[in-house]
Structure 1
Amino acid sequence: MLSVGSIVIRCSDLDRQLLFWTAALDYEPRVPLDEGFALLRPRSGEGPNVSLDAVPSERILPPRIHLDLYADDQAAEVDRLESLGALRVHWPKRPRGADYVIMEDPEGNRFCVVDAAPGDAA
């Protein structure tokens, strides 16, 4: 049996990304931190880990893979993520009425915030 243990995000500024993703996801880093690598785990104990790997890599758009983050209050989460340094991404092909907002972290790694309010199909 396989399961997702960790999603790895490559980054240039490990400290900045560590601050962003721990606050964004309410995750905590495994200590002690490794040189150039941080494993973040959910404080609640539920969900996959997110690892940050300080290995700069070429940014490709559109990305081949991205995170879909489910939110019970999408508007509030988008505002909160923007206050942490995330940016909204305009995509002219986004369907009208789509249940997601495309965003990127402080280094341009894209993710979506999906409206998963009770009663909505996420």
Structure 2
Amino acid sequence: LADEAPRYDRPHAIAPYRAAPLHGPSYPATDPQRALLQLLRSPDVCPKKWVWEQYDYMVRTNTLAGPGGDAAIVRIKETGGAVAIALDGNGRYCYLSPREGARLNVAEACRNLATVGALPVAATNNLNFG
């Protein structure tokens, strides 16, 4: 996927949160029911379905497998072929280690493409992970 990509040597520094010693968080005692409700309200936990439901993904009737699965599949009527598309990214991986996070996110997108029978052959040029 990246053999032909240009290499950049941009200025960089270790983020302060990575330079500091790693200590586990300390949490004050709290009511478990209240903690559960707070967790369920978090945007990190709630379903994201409402986001892609806002877009009419059946435009021009080319969608073979729409959003919500591992990868979307769009038909190319002129050729009789199709393109599978996967978009993945766990920001926590990139926060902790940008390079390893990029690797893990690309690997996850490739696995998701494979689950729908597609062969990962390309990636966008917007992998700005350092």
TM-score norm. by structure 1 comes to 0.28
Q: Which structure's relative contact order is higher, taking Cα pairs within 8 Å and 6+ residues apart?
A: 1
TM-score norm. by structure 2 comes to 0.27
The structure having more radius of gyration, on CA atoms, is 2
Higher share of residues assigned helix = 2
